[in-house]
Each structure stands twice: as C-alpha cells, then as structure tokens.
Amino acid sequence: MSELTTVARPYAKAAFDFAVEHNAIAKWQDMLVFAGAVANNDDMHQLMTGAVAAEQLAEIFINVCGEQLDEHGQNFIKVLAENKRLVALPAISELFNTLKADYDKEIEVNLTSASPLSDSQAAEISASLEKRLARKVKLNCNVDPALVAGFVVKAGDTVIDGSVKSKLNRLADALQA
C-alpha cells in the first residue's frame, strides 16, 4: 500500500493545487471520491489491470463516471490512464482529503473512553484539543470498557493515553524491572 501512496502523492498534490487555484476544492473532492469508488469496483479493477489501451480505458472510465466528472476531471483521468495510474485513484482521493483537511486546518481525532461521554464532556475535550493542536477538531468517540477508566486520544501521529489500563501496565513493567 505504501508504494501506491508514493505513486498517488504527486497526482493528489497536483489535483489539490489545481483545485485551490480554481477555487473548486469541494468539486474536486467529490469527483475524486466518486472516481475512487469506481476504481474500487472489482470489474473496473480487472479492466484497469488488464491489457486495454490507455485511450480506450480512459474513455470507458469517463463513460462510467458520466456527469460526475467535469472537463478537468476527465483530463485528469486521461493523464492517469496514459501513465497507467488509474488503480491509484482511491489513494489519490484519500491523500486529497488529507491535503484538504490540512488546508482547512482540520483534524480527525479518535477518542476512546472507558465509558460513554456526555455531550458537555465531549465538547470540553474537543475545545482543549483545538487549543493544543491549533486546528478544528472532528471528534469520533468510541467506548472500550477494557480501559478501566480515562481515555485514549489519537490525532494523526499524536497519541495521548490517559487510561488507567496503560498506567497499570506501566506500573507492572516498573515492578518487574
């Protein structure tokens, strides 16, 4: 998967830069999400990895997408087909979404707590995280009773573990050392 991400990165960056320049980020995001879903289809995936000429493959792909792609989106598909990169469309879409979140200064945060949080607790944690991360926070809350008490926050590469379970594990490690 990392190879596909490496291949997808310059295309996602180019599409994002074009979208920003033409003030069409939402339109491009919609097009790439749709095209990524089409590329994930089993029949389409077999066609893309088969021995079909690039021009014919691009034409088929564009016809399947229909009105979901504007002229620029169709050109993007043609470039991907010429370079045999249509299979990277799902990764391109994902990287585009990441670039958009960075551009909008947003971050998706997964919070796992030992018990369900009230709305006020979730709002308080969200506000604290917005200050700490200097971004708008989209909070996804989950419950895992195995944490005993407390919560674990995962935001990108940042992990904040305030659970009793991890504290007990650290204490057990210290006692064994």
Give the model confidence (pLDDT) of 40-70 as tens digits.
Answer: 888 888 877 777 787 888 888 888 888 888 8
User: The domain that contains 23 carries what CATH number?
Assistant: 1.10.520.20
Which H or E element spans position 16? helix 2-21
By the 8 A CB rule, do 168 and 150 touch? Answer: no
3-state DSSP: the chain helix, strand, coil percent, rounded to 5? 70, 15, 20
By the 8 A CB rule, do 68 and 97 touch? Answer: no
Residue 22 has pLDDT above 60, yes or no: yes
Tokens of 28: 């491009």
Residue 28 CA to residue 147 CA, distance in Å, equals 40
Which H or E element spans position 142? strand 136-143
- Examine the domain organization and report whether 111 and 45 are in the same domain: no
By the 8 A CB rule, do 12 and 95 touch? Answer: yes
User: The domain that contains 161 carries what CATH number?
Assistant: 3.40.30
Average pLDDT of the residues of the chain = 88
| pTM, full prediction | 0.68
The DSSP 8-state label assigned to residue 147 in this structure reads: G
Choose one of 75, 102, 129: the last residue of a domain.
102
The DSSP 8-state label assigned to residue 159 in this structure reads: E
